[in-house]
Structure 1
Amino acid sequence: MLVVQGEAYSSNIPGLVRESGCGTVHSSFRNGMNIRIGRRLLFIGTAQNGYLPFAVHVDRESFERIACRIRPGDRMVVEFRPGALWLGERNAAVRLDNASVFCSMLRGSPANSGILSANFRRFTALLRMYSGITGFGMSAAQVMDILRKETDQTELGRALIACRTSLGCCDPSLQWQAVRSLIGYGSGLTPAGDDFLIGAAGAGVYTGQVSALVLSKLDERLAQHQDLTTDVSLEYLHYAVSGQFGSRILEVLNALCCQMPTDVARAVWSLTGTGRTSGIDTALGIYCMIVELEKEVSP
């Protein structure tokens, strides 16, 4: 019997596992694996990309020991018992008795607080310093200029601008029309358009521009159009429109309201270092929803 110690797990895990205990290994990577349980995914792996709303996190050595016993396509019974996550048939378990439990639910900006103008300027400067190419095939500065000027008439430009102006629309049809062309836009495990939309959703809810109730309507549309993007990206989108985000997104949003200037830089570099371009694409989504606050943020 292989038993490894878990480091942390999402508060969503007990309910996810109890709903349907039969799982199939969906995909495996260097830092973790996804197990399909019913309609949802369960990630078991490292916290290399932060704490995820559908994850049980272990260290790299522990993951590698589990991965030796499991291959994509394997079926197993997954059980959440007191103190452990059991992977039946694989004769393996992740101990959770000493693991921390985290919540990925986004709360609004702190009472009597808001995005500080100095932090906003620092945030935008850090994004403009990004030297690589984003998942949209252009620099971060070019994407930011599209959002700031709102004059770009390319298909992508119109899609990015529409996301900013209509993500919080109370009409579900207009809201879907505004974000539809971004879903699945780009390549990779999580396409750029999806990452951008997730960042925009987080910033929109955090600043009060997007109602959590209005945002949740997108989940119904996503369930009806699962062929638009990848399974893994759909999972992130499912949680995002439910108001739940990875810890690195939450850290950036909280840092924007913090009095400590170093927190902004630390959080932004942590996020933009995620994946090949996922982090910067997500950060641009955050910028998308706060660019209009430039003249309104508190001094």
Structure 2
Amino acid sequence: MIFAKSGDVDFIQRVKNLKFSGFVHSTFNRTFNIFCQENSELYTIACGQMDNGPNTIVIEADSFEKLNLEVNDIVYSNHHILYIGDKMAITLERVENWESILPTYPEDLNRLKINLNKMKSYIDIHGKSGGIKKALSQTPFEKEMSNLLEKRTNLLFSELLKNRMSAALQHAVSLIGLGPGLTPSGDDFLVGLFTILNMRHSPFISDHFFCEEVVKKAKDLTNDISFMALKKASAGQVRESIIVLVNSLINGKENELILALKNVLNIGSSSGTDIALGLICGLEVNLFAGGKVCLYKR
């Protein structure tokens, strides 16, 4: 029996209400994913050092390496306990509820402008390359991929600034599945962008349909894990570390911002950097849409 530390409130309620059945979809050292037969979504069980996230429960374990979990192992819930075949039982007896709630877009933009400049400078120096941020040394294939990512993110940014949503939709869709990693760089960039566009009082909130339309076209263009991240982000549901970073951008002092940014940059190989660049894109678009001068030229 393993205790759950914290988890997404909807996931917890689904388990407690005996409405969860499915099978193991994919396994990794610190996480594994479950396909839920009731709603066809992926749910994640994460080790204790991971942060909270949509459809995620964090448990008191350091690794899943020695549990011999296998794809298609049966998963079901019974009496507040989630069973992973005969290999693991996760009790929700003392779990802490967590919910993905984005901050409100600020009225006073001074702190945001200052922190956004600091964030971009930090990424220029410390961001992980290999995705949207170009690596110094690249194979011909990596160079071509990097050029495509740069071109398509710039085109998306340009069309969003001009409020040409049909063209922006096409460029956003062209990013899906593009780039290296389990969650491709283009997908990660869109997760960051969707995060900002879903903030309450966002100047771009009236174009929320944009995120939904991108996701409608994403299912067959990327893998199941990345698609679920996009689907949740399109509704404003993202990992806790991303929410902390957005809060720090709005209200944080420099040390708070850098700590939060480091935590996001440590996601995956280049995923965190790609997400952070998507956040920057979304904030630039918001600043421009709100009648402010755009901070950066691309």
Per the alignment, residue 104 of structure 2 pairs with 108
**CA contact 1:134–1:281 (8 Å) conserved in 2:** no
Bigger shift: 249-258 or 19-28?
19-28
Per the alignment, residue 31 of structure 1 pairs with 30
Q: 2:194 aligns with which of 192, 198, 201?
A: 201
Q: 2:236 aligns with which of 218, 243, 257?
A: 243
Instruction: Tell me which amino acid in the other structure corresponds to 1:6.
Output: A
Q: Does 1:127 align with 2:123?
A: yes
The count of aligned residue pairs is: 277
Cα RMSD for the two superposed structures: 3.2
Please report how far the alpha carbon of residue 219 of structure 1 lies from its aligned counterpart in structure 2 after TM superposition: 3.6
Please report how far the alpha carbon of residue 224 of structure 1 lies from its aligned counterpart in structure 2 after TM superposition: 5.0
- For structure 1, which runs of at least 5 residues remain unmatched after alignment? 141-153
**CA contact 2:25–2:32 (8 Å) conserved in 1:** yes
TM-score, scaled to structure 2: 0.80
Q: Deviations over 1:73-131 (max 9, x none)?
A: 2123235x4xx332164264222232211111323235656643321221111111126
**CA contact 2:185–2:270 (8 Å) conserved in 1:** yes
Matches of 1:88 and 1:281 in 2, distance apart?
Answer: 33
Matches of 1:114 and 1:48 in 2, distance apart?
Answer: 34
Matches of 2:216 and 2:59 in 1, distance apart?
Answer: 30
**CA contact 2:73–2:85 (8 Å) conserved in 1:** no
How do 1:113-192 and structure 2 match up within 5 A? 115-130=111-126, 132-136=128-132, 138-139=134-135, 155-166=148-159, 173-192=166-185
Matches of 1:23 and 1:167 in 2, distance apart?
Answer: 39
TM-score, scaled to structure 1: 0.79
Matches of 1:168 and 1:99 in 2, distance apart?
Answer: 43
- For structure 2, which runs of at least 5 residues remain unmatched after alignment? 137-146
Matches of 2:18 and 2:171 in 1, distance apart?
Answer: 33
Matches of 1:257 and 1:88 in 2, distance apart?
Answer: 41
Bigger shift: 4-13 or 15-24?
15-24
SS state at 1:36 partner: strand
Q: Percent identity?
A: 23
Per the alignment, residue 141 of structure 2 pairs with none
SS state at 2:81 partner: strand
**CA contact 2:149–2:179 (8 Å) conserved in 1:** no
Please report how far the alpha carbon of residue 50 of structure 1 lies from its aligned counterpart in structure 2 after TM superposition: 2.1
Matches of 2:107 and 2:244 in 1, distance apart?
Answer: 17
Instruction: Tell me which amino acid in the other structure corresponds to 1:64.
Output: F
- Dislocated runs of 4+, deviation >6 Å: 168-172
CA change 1:77–1:60 in 2 (3 A) is: closer
SS state at 2:130 partner: coil
CA change 1:296–1:170 in 2 (3 A) is: closer
